[in-house]
Amino acid sequence: MSLNPYLDTTPEVQQAQDAGRPVVALESTIISHGMPYPDNVRTALQVEAEVRRAGATPATVAIVKGRLKAGLSGAEIEQLGQSGRSVSKVSRRDIPFLVASGATGATTVAATMVIAAMAGIRVFATGGIGGVHRGATESFDVSADLQELAHTPVAVVCAGAKSILDLGLTLEYLETHGVPVIGYQTDTLPAFFSRESRFAVDYRLDTPEAIARVLDTKWQLGLRGGAVIANPIAPEHAMPSSAIDHAIAQALDEARQQGIGGKETTPFLLERIGALTEGSSLAANIALVLGNARLASAIASALGR
């Protein structure tokens, strides 16, 4: 039930919202394009369970047969996970095409923010956001995730960004567009697999309550857009950058040689890094998403109080 004729909210999510209980949005491109089957499905279900355990309601977002979904069934998650990269990767640009043709697609951070905002959900947990790609001064490859953060009032809890991206240019772009980057218990932007980078965050806040207070204030002031909440991977799951830098460099080389571009770039790099690290990056990836789900649930709970 929803006033938006294109949107289906599951009864679980609708009931939580009607009762003023916290809801956390989750994306689906991480399921279809971000991890291999069946780990992707198991992780997606674990992340939902983690949100519930933390006292919030998960709303995994996707487009299924042309319907915008805030909340998916287990069968729908299984189907997206099995389809993998054969399912469309949907960013803001792609949404009307899937709706008009009744197609199914997995939503990126950008498209998940669009649908979460339509459903009235303010907090969203994922692994890593898209950003400004290395070499963007030539390729112009800047993820639509960053423009969405500039416009749409959803806070995105992530472990920073993978160093397939240019973290410095990503921060510059976010600054230009007025998107705050908040470090949760950290002074530097985490680099996904590692807890730190050489780039400072704009603000460090140490509790979910303090983060919720800033978000609430931003939106009460009528300032449009979202925020990046950067949550470092737990120390016991962090990977030495030497273990990952080589894989990233090789994946970038292969992408250049094979002429990979546009929306294929990020999924290609993610898959190659997974293969080149023989899956050792997958455990870290899963652990950090679970940690982000916990923090997002705590922020959503604090926002509701």
Task: Choose the one of ligand PSU, Mn ion, none that binds residue 29, judging by a C-beta under 5 to 8 angstroms depending on kind.
Answer: ligand PSU
Q: What are the helix (H) ranges across the chain?
A: 11-18, 29-32, 39-53, 74-83, 95-101, 109-118, 136-139, 144-151, 167-176, 208-220, 241-257, 265-276, 280-304
Task: Choose the one of ligand PSU, Mn ion, none that binds residue 123, judging by a C-beta under 5 to 8 angstroms depending on kind.
Answer: none
Half-sphere exposure of 38 (CA within 13 A, CB side): 3
Q: With binding defined as CB under 5 A, does residue 94 bind Mn ion?
A: no
Q: Where in 128-157 is the site for Mn ion (CB under 5 A)?
A: 141
Task: Choose the one of Mn ion, ligand PSU, none that binds residue 290, judging by a C-beta under 5 to 8 angstroms depending on kind.
Answer: none
Q: How many residues bind Mn ion (CB under 5 A)?
A: 1
Active site residue: 27, 50, 76, 78, which one?
A: 27
SS3 183: strand
Cα gap 34→204, rounded to integer Å = 28
Active site residue 278: no
Active site residue: 69, 89, 162, 218, which one?
A: 162
The residue (of 92 and 122) whose beta carbon lies closer to ligand PSU is 92
Active site residue 69: no
The residue (of 92 and 218) whose beta carbon lies closer to ligand PSU is 92
Residue whose structure tokens are 């949404």: 95
CB of 146 to ligand PSU, least distance (A): 9
- Residue 200, number of CB atoms within 10 A of its CB: 14
CB of 253 to ligand PSU, least distance (A): 18
Please provide the size of the chain in residues. Answer: 305
Structure tokens at 146: 């960053």
Structure tokens at 73: 């069934």
Distance of CA 97 to the CA centre of its chain: 22
CB of 141 to Mn ion, least distance (A): 4
Mark 166-205 with x for binding to Mn ion (rule: CB under 5 A) and - for no binding: ----------------------------------------
CB of 299 to Mn ion, least distance (A): 28
| Nearest alpha carbon to residue 289 among 76, 19, 24 | 24
Burial of 93 (0-12, 13-18, 19+ CB in 10 A): exposed
The residue (of 13 and 165) whose beta carbon lies closer to ligand PSU is 165
Structure tokens at 166: 């240019």
Q: Do the Cβ atoms of 112 and 13 come closer than 8 Å?
A: no
Instruction: Indicate the residue whose CB is closest to Mn ion.
Output: 141
CB of 19 to ligand PSU, least distance (A): 30
- In the complex, the residues that contact ligand PSU under the rule CB under 6 A are 27, 29-30, 33-34, 108-109, 127-128, 130, 143-145, 162, 263, 266, 270
Distances (CA, A) of 245 to 16, 36, 224, 252, 273: 42, 21, 36, 11, 10
Task: Choose the one of Mn ion, ligand PSU, none that binds residue 88, judging by a C-beta under 5 to 8 angstroms depending on kind.
Answer: none
Task: Choose the one of Mn ion, ligand PSU, none that binds residue 294, judging by a C-beta under 5 to 8 angstroms depending on kind.
Answer: none
The residue (of 30 and 41) whose beta carbon lies closer to ligand PSU is 30
CB of 130 to ligand PSU, least distance (A): 3
Interface positions with Mn ion (CB under 5 A): 141
Catalytic residue ranges: 27, 162
